[in-house]
Structure 1
Amino acid sequence: MEGGIRVLHVDDDEQFGALTASFLDRFGTFDVWTHQRYEDAVDAIDEASFDCVVCDYDLGEYDGLDVLEAVRDDDPDVPFLLFTAKGSERVASDAIAAGATDYLQKGSGSSSEFELLANRIESAVSEARTRARLQESRQRVRRLHAVARELETCTTDEDVYRTTLDAAEDILDFEWVFVLAPVSDRFETRPRDHEGDYLPNDGFGLDEGVVAETFQTGESARIDDLQASSVAKPSNDAFRGGLSVPVGDKAVLQAVSDEPGAFDEYDREHAELLASHAAAALDRIENEQLYRTLVEQSHDGIYVYQGSSFAFVNDRVSELTGYDVAELHEMDLWELVHEDDRKYVQETARTADEGPIVREARVVRADGEVRHMALSTAKITYDGESAFMGAARDVTDRKRREAELERTNERLEQFANVVSHDLKNPLAVAEGSLRLARETGDAVHFENASDALDRMSTLITDVLALAREGSAVVDPDGVFLSAVASAAWSNVETGDATFTVADDARIHADERRLQRLCENLFRNSVEHSSPCSRTQSGNAVEDDGSENAVSVTVGALPDGDGFYVEDDGPGIPEDDHETVFESGVTTSDDGTGFGLAIVAEIADAHDWSVGATESVDGGARIELWNVESAQNATQ
């Protein structure tokens, strides 16, 4: 049997006690303490620990059950054998009922009698040791599971190793224990600041000793005698027993002792359990670090929300929204979504229960800027509770390119229409007139051909302008409306028309295209306000035109959201207010119908809105709004 057995033998017959000790020594490894008196036996129980108590029944004033009571008060689990010549069923029954382990009746004092006693003692002690080991094992396992919860809070590898070593010393009762992790071409102890009784020198190569074999095979090794092992290379001659356990694929947990066979299978199992908890913690930290790196360095905004509150946001979310992380955690996340898209985003988010979803929506930044975002959402568990993880990618530039492509396609279609339709008529007129001119020589046909060619030139100029002015404005400047409008007025043949700036404004715009817009509006006012078109009650006024010259006014809208250009001419029929900005629409015999269409294209390129209405004097008034103001500037 592994380990000697310490026996307390209580018998009032001193000679029989000596005989019992002699025979037990013959049949096993026993250390027998013999006492005759109850009082001496009780003192011995108080002072020392025994693996088994063997007691006679009749001890004079006391009996064996009195000794049993004292033993049980001290240790309820130590085996107690009643070994007595006073044999009866009542005595045996009382002894077993009182907690005796076994009952054995004395015989003639033969060798076989004591051999039986030795076997009974060994059997009882073996069972008791097994029970005690199982109980210790259960306690260890419970405590190791508690350590697992502690390891879940570790945030660095060094914290994991330190917690693991503390548990090995406190729970597994390993005296010399250390963790070895591969670094470059050697194994190094971890953590470096661990205050153990012994730390091995960093003298282990990646292919040397038990540590290398354990690390490479991923299998534990329990060695009873390190000095006799062909694999082990103990760094101290005092080391005899050894235990080596892999910590996943990250490190090796080792324990050594100066006693051979110091570690058993329970030690190995418990060390493996501890190592598995440590390996799980190391994997978690590695995954968290990788995840954190991916999330924090992601070009996408990554966030987790529960209800309408953010539980996590990376720095990119702050960059995309203009709010700092603390502000984001305090706000209702739905406030970030444009009010026109909010209901749609909320409704689609609920369908993430069925699987990840992707959609696009507008987000309003802290500074009020509206950006287009591609939003993906998936349901997850976060901190043990149901949550949603989302990713946001800014697609504003892509949306602009798509809108620009759509506008380009529309302009190409308009260009094709002009080429296929609008240019055909003047081209046919020019060709027919030249043919008649050749046949007749009449000068009027040459004039007709010249007029047709002029119209074709005007159409081509306007169509090219329409194509060029519609591209999106990417980097507008801060310009003064009065300065740009004045420059535009000087470029238009205005005759006796007058020009006034009612009030100025500084706006963000492409200066060249804004000037073109003003030129087209001024030209539209002048060309549609000839003297014969201006009436008081439907009758044309015939004079030199100076009295009825049109007056054009430019000014800022009252709410500061844009500007207007208006005149006191005949105005635009109310039914035409919605169509005048379409290509080819004109009320003039000489017009191409592209002047206001170009205005609409330039406005659209700036993301402005444009509309036609009636001026105070009954003329035409063109308003442009959603125009970004350039504040805090002086002319």
Structure 2
Amino acid sequence: MSREIRIIYFGSEPDFTPNLSKFDGFADRTTEFLNVSTSAEAMPTLERTRIDCILVQLEPPRQPGIEFLETVRETYPNLPIIVWIENWSSDAAEEAISAGATDVVRRETGSDSVVVLANRLSNAIEQHRTTNETTKRDWQLERAFDAIGVPVWVRNRENEYVLANEKYRDEVGISRDVDVIGKTPTDLVEPEMAERFVELHEQVVQTGEPLQIEWHRTERDPHRVIDVRLSPVLDDGRVVLVCGIAIDLTERTAEVGASSIPDTEGETPIVDDDGTVDDAASISAALPRNGSLDRERRRNAERLELALEAGKVGIWEWDVQTERTWFDDRFAQLLGYEQAELTPHADTWLELRHPEDHEHVLDTLHSHLRDDIAHFDVTQRLRTASGRWKWVRDVGKVVERDEDGTPRRAIGCIVDIDEQKRQERKLQRQNDRLETFTETLSHDLRNPLNVAQGLLELLEEDCENEVLQEVSRAHDRMEQLIEELLVWARTGTSAVDCTHVSLTSIAESCWSNIEQTGSELIVDDDMDIVADDSRLKQLFENLFRNAIEHNDPSIRIRVGSLPGRSGFYIEDDGDGIPNEIRGRMLERGFTTTESGTGFGLAIVREVVDSHGWELDVTDSDPGGVRFEITGVEAAD
């Protein structure tokens, strides 16, 4: 302890100011005794000043201190109150304890009595402050997790929740009133979602490796894509916790919807003596090591901290009116700094932020401070200790305002998205190269092909020759190959634009676009799904064409929904697919015929993957092949 100690004294000695500086816990400390004679005098002091302890002097048989003790205890149930009893009796001690005393001390003549009193005061103050620090850290962490604005959760090896912030609950449909601790996803979320959660969790537990996937949540927004990251926490090489964080990758407007952070209006913030947030080096450093404290509270704090570390999350808190800003140790570490290197002031943001990001960050911040938007949520580049720029997502919220709405305090976090940005840039470069390739196909190959086809037509007018027919078939083959390459390339780079689509309508439309040669289409039943209409047509047309080209022309093709499952099937009554090639049939370029391009089923796979669906190839009842597409969202 290093700050000043304040003790309220209630007793018969108005000038009571014992010298405690030579005792443990008080050395090198300023100790102030505030003397009061009534509870009415003490209450205003307690309301406006941080008090560490109350010393009540009892002088049986007169007991004015008991009434004072009961009055104070009713309003301040956790504040330590030491009762110093003169003319000691067991009855007086028992009465003091019953009235709410933390401890009772016999007052005797001589220095030993002061030694005992100093020791009891020091112990009570130390435990009270340590408990307050733990409570404060718990509160900061919980508020920070809710202020993050993205779903965060932690489950143990047995897949039981040990933490789930409010944003996570909102995302997966768990009420904020439900206690999730000790429960599994199967207990709390819909079966299909729970099955997927368990599958991903088990993968991390078994491999001990981080996992990152894209989750397409099209039931809320046809364009919605979420980046889900799972990170293991190891103990002696064994996974004991799996921490998760989900980041919405979808382009959004500034208005992000209702806040997931509870209102704090009317709450009294926990602050230091000077009215600012504590600048502790790290949350874990401030956690007590006192075995007598509540173990569950400590475990909760440790779980929260593990989730922050695994999710690469750093916390900040900002006093808007004084500009004083607290950055936690993880914030500093994410950028390669020591916490002491970051000046606790808002100007530190200006020193760290990339100049090109200033304008859009400040515009969004001011919109939030005016209460125009619910959250402050931006991506920006911050300078690391090594001098390079790191991409972070910065999310926060004003949690305290004056009566007139003026912001007082905000809390938030940064999330490391640098790897995601690097992957996005890499993907963009690949897409750019692919776009150049498709332009080459479209222009540089088609132009000479068109010239060749034109010249061939002129030759065919003058003579008939089987060789010219072979040349014509080769031209047709080249044109088909170019067209399918273009379709495949564009399927892999364009964004999914989902709408409500009728299975019957899409099947019948695609059937009319291909050469059927005596084949038959049967749609067993209809269902409305959420999908990209253009891409879904590519899927149906390629599967229809593939079935017809590899079987008897009179083949029968059926389309329908999967009973009890979220998806549909396309099957035929043809010859089926040999087991030896089933594992390769979806590979790009793989074909079993001289006329095939090997892109048809690869395009089908691309369409399925781009929607976040699953594709299973099996046998149909008549002996042909059956394609089952699952994970499909039914339209409302």
Q: Place the TM-score, normalised by the shorter chain, in its bin.
A: 0.3 to 0.5
TM-score by length of structure 2 reads 0.42
Compare CA radii of gyration and give the structure with the larger one.
Answer: 1
TM-score by length of structure 1 reads 0.42
